Amino acid sequence: MSAEAHAGPGDKLGHTRQSFRGWRGQRPFWGGLLSILGGIPIMYFPYANLTMGTLTIRLATTAGAGSLIIGILLVVLGLTMWFQPHSRVFAGVAAILLALVSLVVSNFGGFVIGFLLALIGGALSVSWAPGGPLPETAVLDGDDDTGPTDTDVVPPPLGATYRIAGANHDESGTSPDDGTNGRHRAG
């Protein structure tokens, strides 16, 4: 190996990873993923056969079609959360409602696994909000654009008899920085 060999992922893999990271940050990715994963056991278990030796157990119910519809809808709602993030609240509420209906319709919501995944995915989708732009740092009186440093001096609170590094900005009059040591004065 030469000294010029690069360690770590190549440029293409690193760029792809960064692109995916940016895409994932602009939508309720984890809510969509959990909703999709919640739909899979809900639609799978009613059609599954469990074999123990020569004994075959079939979990089919009369509501097998309902389970299939609920599972497919949860997968579609998860994809909607990914590819249309502006409708995340609708998709999240619908996923929560479908998860609740799956408890009754499809073997306790895919043996509670699909129910919990879809419920948490819907809740994550409803609670997700797009981030705002980062604030720009202001340049102060000829300083360079580095911002505040650890050596900046914090002035003592009004009326303080002593100064502690990293003074706390409690305006209630009960902090140790203002010299009252937690006691209030009458008057």
Residue 97 Cα distances to 31, 54, 122, angstroms: 15, 39, 9
Q: Is 171:181 a contact under the CB 8 Å cutoff?
A: no
> pTM here?
0.63
CA dihedral 117, 119, 122, 128 (to 10 degrees): -90
Q: What is the pLDDT along the chain (187 residues), one digit of tens a residue?
A: 555 655 556 688 888 988 888 888 889 999 999 999 999 998 888 777 778 888 877 766 666 788 889 999 999 999 999 999 999 999 999 999 999 999 888 878 778 999 999 999 999 999 998 877 767 765 455 555 555 555 666 665 666 555 455 555 555 555 555 555 555 555 5
pLDDT value of residue 171: 58
What pLDDT is recorded for position 106?
A: 82
